[in-house]
Amino acid sequence: MAAVQKTPKELAANVKDAARKEAERAKAKAQKEMEKAQKMMERNLAKAKKEIAKAEKSVVTYIKKNPEKSAAIAAGIGAAIGAAVTAVVKSGG
């Protein structure tokens, strides 16, 4: 039985072909993982939107039930922001 000998060109072509096939497999796997990550992100975004809508509804309900308290809270927040802005402006920041 004679041993099969390949020329350097044949060996290089085989290596090139194997590398190409491996690159294609890696690319396909990466694309699949990206699709999974995108689906997960879309689910998380939808969940966050629902939670934000729920919180918004809760805030609106609270404001309707407690208008005076809500106004006082808003005034306090506004005063705190105003004080912080004034402090930054005075410090030259």
Count structural domains, the chain. 1
Is 84 inside a domain boundary? no
Is 33 inside a domain boundary? yes
Q: Give the pLDDT score at 6.
A: 83
Structural domain harbouring 43: 8-66
The reported pTM is 0.55
Is 91 inside a domain boundary? no
Q: Give the pLDDT score at 2.
A: 53
Is 18 inside a domain boundary? yes
Phi, psi of 6, rounded to the nearest 5 degrees: -110, 150
Kindly state the tokens that stand for 78. Answer: 């506004």
Per-residue pLDDT reduced to its tens digit, 32-90 = 999 999 999 999 999 999 999 999 999 999 999 999 999 999 999 999 999 999 999 99
Cβ neighbours for 62, distance < 8 A, ≥ 6 positions apart: 70
Cα gap 93→90, rounded to integer Å: 8
